[in-house]
Chains A and B, each alone.
Chain A
Amino acid sequence: MFKLAKTFAATGTRAYLKPVKLVALVLFSTAAILFMVKEGTAQNTTSNQFNGLGRTATPAEVKAWDIDVRPDLKGLPVGSGKVQDGQPIWENKCASCHGTFGESNEVFTPLVGGTTAEDIKRGRVASLTDPKQPQRSTLMKVATISSLYDYIYRAMPWNAPRSLTADDTYAVLAYMLNLAEILPDDFELSNKNMAEVQQLMPNRNGMTREHGMWQIGDAPDVKAVACMSNCVEVVKITSSLPDYARNAHENLAEQNRAYGPFRGADTTRPPVAKLPGSELGRLASAGSTPTSSAAMASATTLPSGTPATLMPPADLFKKQNCFACHAASSKLVGPSLVEIAAKYKSQTDSEAKLTEKVLKGGAGVWGAIPMPAQNQLSVADAQALVKWILTTH
């Protein structure tokens, strides 16, 4: 078929044709038109079905990924867990970030706190209207118990998501609700009683969908008017940054270009007394670029393939995700850098010992969660990191 059409194309270009050929041409062209129509149909069909793209999901695949739990509890796994079973899991896997009582504000905002027995009755958390309430805990906010189950089962613990079984999740959730005085000490939470426990959620009536910010046609909250002249009598400044916060985001001069119409203000110094003038500006761009900005320049121009040993330990620490478990001064999953330095600084063999620990992993010194082996690091890098932790913290 295809060959036929090609022949037609070749003969069709000729201006002079003998009658016999003409007959043949008519035949050919009819066939060619038929061919083209058929081809066109085939293409249309293809564009709707995308033959060969995608395949049917197997039931096991859907089961493996479809773990979400809706407010009507669709998707809730069969299982159960007691408050008392939740306690050891909590202490091993949750307390390091969330505190023994779910009250910690160190790493994340508190999970527990700010709710009352009256809230549980009413289904609205009264402290949410109190502007003096310092933090909004998770249990002050969340309306649906399904959201908590899904949260824990899907994304917790922080550094090992999806490592809890369904029963573990029921137990941890039961323990957390017990900490919030929603469930009694001897309670066993299960897929069978989740709907009843939903009726005890302190803020279960605290959500609204009545607003204009979900569906595109909804009406906005406010209707401002675009006045063009003499719109306000007096312009009053109601808020500005206090002087002591001038350098809180570090030197703004280094966060702008050192040339062009606008520089960054040098926030390591008080504001300049008067307009600097263009000559000073020209000088600034010619020579007096802050030294740290030159340092930044060289840092960002390091080619990506640079051996990690050339990287400053602070950057290496960041690049290797060490910060996921270790903060500078507060305890996260692992000890803070300050704590490590304080403990090991004075020991003579600490550098070698800690280097080995970084490379091979360790357990038990700072808590239940073991330090995983960082065998992707070179020995030199591990040494550099340890040295940096011990000498600068």
Chain B
Amino acid sequence: MSKKFSGLTFGRLRNAPEHFLDGDLLAHVSQNGLDAQRRNFIRSSFLGALATATGASALAQNTAAVGDPAILNKQIWATTLGKPVAANPYGIPSKYEAGLVRRESPGLTRVSAASVSFTPLQGLFGMITPSGLHFERHHQGWYEIDPALHRLMINGLVKREMIFTMEDLMRLPSVSRIHFIECGANTGLEWGNVAVPTVQYTHGMISCSEFTGVPLSTLLDLCGVDLKKGKYILAEGADGSGMTRTIPIEAAMDDVLVVWGMNGEMLRPENGYPLRLLVPGAQGVSSVKWLRRIEVGDQPYASKDEAVHYIDLMPNGLHRQYTSIQECKSVITTPSGGQQLLTKGFYNVSGIAWSGRGTIKRVDVSMDGGKNWREARLEGPILTKAITRFNINWDWDGSPAILQSRAIDSTGYVQPPINMLREVRGTRSIYHNNAIQSWKLDANGEVSNVQVG
């Protein structure tokens, strides 16, 4: 059998384990499939040559007179046998989606082990970021840590300093919650002026996932945390950078999670496998990856990533230390910078909004650079410290436009224009730029990144 079908392009056809198809039937099906495939191949080649020779208008006429070749031609996927189950034991996106991948911004960093890769927001839908497209930020490279050798230590101001294995942690009562993680430096390139062309590079250091783990409060309680003396925790990673961040004890006892699950499976290695902290609403660096230690203390730690890096320079020369909360922000993801519209007419303008202080209450969209605004539709579920997708209908008449979105959160905070933030923070603070984003749409259909004043 296997010899008979060798060399067929739809190959790797194997008998089902049950052998419920007899050999003759299988041969018949396969032979017909082959014929259809050959016929179709010849036809497509002919049409392809025709299109090249006569150009768009001829094809359009042809389409109008007879019909759409996509319908009139038999397609290979409808006329031959498809691939078997488990051809990709771990499923991967279609090859037609290959452009939508994490990318570095050229020239942003000089060492790729201490760099960023950005999420392709321009092609994503809904509120969940596919795990393979979650942005990356590593400080000293990443590793695949053997979970059997991973430990979590809790020490400091606790009754009993403890060690947990992955087995211990995963036996505890777990919770699953959807939250965003946004790097504090997201949109940081745009403080002074427009610097990058697309939403992937302006806003692609945000992702939103369903995380599964145990509340940190459960572990701290288990160790007998001293809440009288303990005012802060230090979270530490197991990577070479030994990432350390101080978190106020109120947050630690509130909604901070120690997570292993991300979108229904284990964390990806680049995102902290097998264990990370999740500090909802805080800048990503606080959600320490490859989490190996929590220390309870009575003072902040001023660790390297809160004393040398991740400090915000103010115009008066002071640096703000321990800035953490990611304030209310939104961005239109389609259409967005670097995209090309082909025709006038109807579009569903879509984007994402989020707030580190709570839920999204409203998103307004302007098509005229902020003169007039309309309220967008919010798609559910609307969750605290999570991405909320918004959509708004738009009939584009072909004239130039400037698209903006403006989010309002449950505290009443309104996402500000860039100039309002600059008045307080200047242009050199790098972190926490949550300004309104503007996309200019030209009459030729091309969208570009601009700032308006």
Which residues of A pack against B, CB within 8 Å?
Answer: 47, 49-50, 53-57, 61-62, 65-68, 70-72, 74, 106-108, 124-126, 128-129, 131, 136, 138, 141-144, 146-148, 150-151, 154-155, 158, 161-162, 203, 206-216, 218, 220-232, 235-241, 245-246, 248-250, 252-259, 261-267, 271-281, 283, 286-287, 293, 296-301, 303-304, 318, 321, 323-324, 327, 330, 332
From B168, B295, B319, B421, give the contact of A221 (CB < 8 A). Answer: B421
Whole-angstrom distance between the Cβ of A99 and the nearest chain B Cβ:
13
Q: B317 contacts the other chain (Cβ, under 8 Å)?
A: yes
Complex-state Cα separation, A256 to B120, whole angstroms: 8
Which residues of B pack against A, CB within 8 Å?
Answer: 48, 51, 56-57, 59-60, 88, 90, 92-93, 95-101, 103, 105-107, 110-114, 120, 122-123, 139-141, 153-156, 160-164, 168, 171-173, 193-198, 200-201, 222, 234, 236, 240-242, 244, 248, 250-251, 281, 292-293, 295, 297, 299-304, 307-308, 311-325, 327, 334-335, 338-344, 347-348, 357, 362, 364, 368-373, 398, 402, 406, 408, 413-417, 420-421, 423-425, 428, 432, 440, 442-453
Whole-angstrom distance between the Cβ of B428 and the nearest chain A Cβ:
7
In contact, A68 and B236 (Cβ under 8 angstroms): yes
Complex-state Cα separation, A345 to B300, whole angstroms: 54
Complex-state Cα separation, A133 to B292, whole angstroms: 39
Q: List 21 A-B contacts (CB under 8 A).
A: A53-B168, A54-B168, A56-B161, A66-B155, A70-B299, A74-B299, A108-B114, A129-B317, A155-B139, A208-B319, A216-B250, A222-B420, A226-B408, A232-B369, A235-B369, A235-B452, A249-B201, A254-B99, A276-B342, A323-B112, A330-B110
Q: Which residues of B contact A223 (CB under 8 A)?
A: 413-414
Q: Which residues of A contact B123 (CB under 8 A)?
A: 256-257
In contact, B342 and A53 (Cβ under 8 angstroms): no
Whole-angstrom distance between the Cβ of A319 and the nearest chain B Cβ:
12
A-B contact number at CB 8 A: 378
Known: A108-B110, A108-B111. A161 touches B242 (CB 8 A): yes
Complex-state Cα separation, A246 to B368, whole angstroms: 24
In contact, A215 and B250 (Cβ under 8 angstroms): yes
Known: A155-B240, A213-B320, A261-B334. A56 touches B162 (CB 8 A): yes
Whole-angstrom distance between the Cβ of B293 and the nearest chain A Cβ:
5
In contact, B372 and A231 (Cβ under 8 angstroms): yes
Complex-state Cα separation, A143 to B429, whole angstroms: 17
If over half of A's interface residues share one DSSP class (helix, strand or loop), that class is named, otherwise mixed; here it is loop
Q: Which residues of B contact A224 (CB under 8 A)?
A: 406, 414-417, 420
In contact, A214 and B248 (Cβ under 8 angstroms): yes
Complex-state Cα separation, A273 to B442, whole angstroms: 10
Known: A214-B325, A227-B373, A231-B373. A255 touches B100 (CB 8 A): yes
In contact, A231 and B311 (Cβ under 8 angstroms): no
From A65, A222, A303, give the contact of B421 (CB < 8 A). Answer: A222
In contact, B311 and A324 (Cβ under 8 angstroms): no
In contact, B323 and A327 (Cβ under 8 angstroms): no
In contact, A54 and B340 (Cβ under 8 angstroms): no
Instruction: Given contacts A143-B302, A239-B193, A240-B449, list 19 more A-B pairs with CB under 8 A.
Output: A56-B162, A56-B163, A61-B163, A203-B319, A207-B320, A216-B281, A218-B325, A220-B327, A221-B425, A235-B402, A238-B451, A239-B450, A249-B196, A253-B340, A265-B339, A265-B340, A275-B445, A297-B96, A300-B98
Known: A150-B304, A230-B371, A332-B111. A240 touches B153 (CB 8 A): no
Closest-by-CB residue of B relative to A238 is B453
In contact, B398 and A256 (Cβ under 8 angstroms): no
